[in-house]
Amino acid sequence: MSNSNQLHENLVQIVDEAGLLPEDQLSRYAIDDINPQAVVLPRSTHEIQEVLSYAADSALSVIPAGGGTKLGVGNPPDKVDLVLSTSRLDQVLEYEPGDLTVTVEAGIRLAALQAKLAEHGQYLPLDPPYADRCTIGGITATNASGPSRFRYGSARDRVLGMRVVQSSGTVIKSGGKVVKNVAGYDLNKLYLGSFGTLGVITEVSLKLQPLPEIERTILLTFNDVSETVNVASEISGSQLLPTSLNLFVNGVPLTDSPEPCLLIGLDGPSETVEWQIDAVKTVAQQNGAIGVELYEGQRQQELQGAMCAFPQVGAGTPTVVCRANLRMTDVSGFINTALEANESAPWRMRATGLMGSGVVYLVFSEFSNGDVPVEHTAEAIANLREAATNVGGNLIVESAPTALKRQIDVWGSVGRSFELMKSIKTKLDPIGLLNIGRFVGGI
């Protein structure tokens, strides 16, 4: 019997035939052009424990996954043995509308959860890309967020508690199911953003928001980036409380305008939103805006969707996505540096900034010869990373072809915190089972 057949039989003993992805579909979970030996889809925490125990006994590496939307983040692995997907763990376990809390299995998709919550006039204010595919476990493991991070924060600010299966099979419970019973060490923060290197998240408890009475989006257009950033800074420091405040350097998707602009989301009681609209228009007029447009209804939803989807990568399209994390006061200078460096480059660079959080996305696409020029692009990323580091920020590469990722470290330098991170990894995954070599510093 071949090794692959033996692996198949052994895993079927744990998860049944329905818990294994057919061999002809393994490429759906390919990581940097490497197909896994198997993709396992457990239906319970117990099955996850059994899979991890089997992998440990068989010296197989395990890469946790949800919907697979973030599998491309990280350095290329040396090998991909098992991908453990939580996508069949997709139930709402406990929902208390009166408490504005919900506990779900990690594999439930964000869009499916939002639909259930909307029946009670509530929602989870997280809007990362791929809302129809990404899972709550994946959002938590990557600390994902979107434009509404300006007002509502990232996953880090929404998670009350979770259950995690460690590589040893031990189930860890952190936090709680309601806001006021979260006490002691905040272990949630340990697993949030750990990209599956410390354990497999199986359940998550979240705090919710009531659906807003109304939503509106204002588009402000300017002559240059500096003016746009200055207005964003003024709005951010004012009494206004937008849901989102996004800078688009090359114009907003779905519009014909190529000028720098701000797309501002507002929601809440109608009287409050109307007051904020008037205040934003006043700020725009006082600061030289060349265009002010107000959207609602279907058009507003389309623009909101385009704003959330900006960092998405189309299938089969050569694209490089970088994310810089900066102080807001450094956003304008960094973007101008990026624009100057890419004026004559053989690609198109688009940029957006989540103002208030200092997150800037740079998307390189439309390469002149159809392929990513590895050496040239690696040099450009190194220069941009240096520019971010020089002002106390950092830059990571969220998506890139494998050939480029083998030329660079997608995470960059971690600094003095690396030894602490390494010791935590050793403590929680002593046998080196989970997502090995792909995270910061090769952890």
Report helix angle 331-341 to 374-390, nearest 10. 160
Whose structure tokens read 């265009």? 291
pLDDT-above-90 percentage for the chain: 78
Identify the pLDDT of residue 181.
Answer: 56
**Per-residue pLDDT for 344 more than 90?**
no
Give Cα separations from 35 to 51, 77, 78, 396 (angstroms).
19, 11, 12, 24
CB 360 within 8 A of CB 324: yes
Task: Give 112-171 pLDDT, tens digit per residue.
Answer: 999 999 999 999 999 999 888 999 999 999 999 899 999 999 999 999 999 999 999 999
**Per-residue pLDDT for 68 more than 70?**
yes
92-96 sheet: strands from edge to edge = 92-96, 101-105, 200-207, 159-165, 171-175
Report helix angle 225-236 to 270-286, nearest 10. 140
Least confident of 181-195, 242-256, 311-325: 181-195
Q: How far is CA 236 from the centre of its chain?
A: 23
294, 235, 289: which is closest to 259 by C-alpha? Answer: 289
Give Cα separations from 186 to 104, 137, 176, 344, 426 (angstroms).
20, 18, 10, 48, 19
The Cα–Cα gap between 179 and 158 comes to 10
Query: Where are the CATH 3.30.70.2740 domain residues in the chain?
Result: 320-406
- pLDDT bin (cut points 50, 70, 90) of residue 1 is very low
Task: Supply the DSSP symbol for 75.
Answer: S
Identify the pLDDT of residue 401.
Answer: 94
- pLDDT bin (cut points 50, 70, 90) of residue 183 is low
| Top CATH class, 1-211+414-437 | alpha beta
Task: Give 401-435 pLDDT, tens digit per residue.
Answer: 999 999 999 999 888 889 999 999 999 999 999 99
Identify the pLDDT of residue 271.
Answer: 96
In order, the DSSP letters of 133-188 are T-BHHHHHHHT---TTHHHH--GGGTEEEEEEE-TTS-EEEEE-SSGGG--SS-TH
222, 290, 260: which is closest to 351 by C-alpha? Answer: 260
394, 377, 288, 413: which is closest to 334 by C-alpha? Answer: 394
Whose structure tokens read 């497999």? 200
Whose structure tokens read 């700020």? 283
Cβ neighbours around 113 below 10 Å, total: 23
What is the number of alpha carbons within 13 Å of residue 221 lying toward its C-beta? 13
The Cα–Cα gap between 350 and 337 comes to 13
Query: Where are the CATH 3.30.465.10 domain residues in the chain?
Result: 1-211+414-437
348-354 sheet: strands from edge to edge = 291-295, 214-221, 261-268, 244-248, 348-354, 359-365, 320-325, 394-399
Answer with the residue of higher pLDDT: 309 or 85.
85
Q: What is the average pLDDT value for the chain, to the nearest integer?
A: 92
Task: Supply the DSSP symbol for 237.
Answer: T
**Per-residue pLDDT for 316 more than 90?**
no
**Per-residue pLDDT for 329 more than 90?**
no
Mean pLDDT on 287-307: 91
Residue 405 has φ and ψ, to the nearest 5°, of -65, -25
pLDDT-above-70 percentage for the chain: 98
CB 247 within 8 A of CB 355: yes
The Cα–Cα gap between 80 and 333 comes to 40
- pLDDT bin (cut points 50, 70, 90) of residue 335 is very high
**Per-residue pLDDT for 334 more than 70?**
yes
Identify the pLDDT of residue 272.
Answer: 95
Identify the pLDDT of residue 247.
Answer: 93
Whose structure tokens read 């590589």? 167
Architecture of domain 320-406 in this structure: 2-Layer Sandwich (3.30)
Task: Give 346-402 pLDDT, tens digit per residue.
Answer: 999 999 999 888 999 999 999 988 899 999 999 999 999 999 999 999 999 999 999
Query: Where are the CATH 3.30.70.2190 domain residues in the chain?
Result: 214-309
**Per-residue pLDDT for 178 more than 90?**
no
**Per-residue pLDDT for 15 more than 60?**
yes
Identify the pLDDT of residue 182.
Answer: 53
Least confident of 68-72, 256-260, 401-405: 256-260
Mean pLDDT on 283-305: 92
Q: Assign a CATH topology to domain 214-309.
A: Alpha-Beta Plaits (3.30.70)
Report helix angle 225-236 to 331-341, nearest 10. 160
Mean pLDDT on 290-299: 93
Task: Supply the DSSP symbol for 43.
Answer: S
Task: Give 201-225 pLDDT, tens digit per residue.
Answer: 999 999 999 999 999 999 999 998 8
Mean pLDDT on 281-300: 93
